[in-house]
Amino acid sequence: MACGTPVIALGRGGALETVIENPDEVSESTDKSARAINLAIQQFEKVEDQFSPEFLRMHAAKFHDDVFLNNMEKTIRRFLENCTR
């Protein structure tokens, strides 16, 4: 997604938090079979022109290392401030 390219991912783990889904057309699946993967590709091909590369890049930027580290630092600071009160 960081390159503005849609992603087809197994509906588990980090993909559930980071991958954007079109609920009307493409569904999450935890099925790893060849049939399920083929179905996901077919569903994607029906809607692939609806994805905005710029939107995908902006969404992926929310998960960049720098953003993660900055958010983690803020969380730790708030925690430490609450501990000293």
pTM of the model: 0.60
On whether residue 51 sits in a domain, the answer given is yes
Measured distance CA(37)–CA(13) in Å, rounded: 17
* Mean pLDDT of the region 15-33: 66
Counting runs of H as helices and runs of E as strands, what totals does the chain give? 4, 0
- 75 pLDDT more than 90: yes
- 56 with 19: CB under 8 angstroms? no
- 3-7, 27-31, 64-68, 76-80, range with the lowest pLDDT: 27-31
* 4 within a domain of the structure (yes/no): no
Compute how many other C-beta atoms are within 10 angstroms of the C-beta atom of residue 26: 21
2 found inside a domain: no
Express each pLDDT in 50-74 by its tens digit. 888 998 899 889 888 998 999 999 9
Residue 20 has a CB neighbour count (10 Å cut-off) of 13
Examine residue 5 and state whether it is found in any structural domain, yes or no.
Answer: no
Residue 36 predicted with pLDDT over 80 = yes
For the chain, the domain total comes to: 1
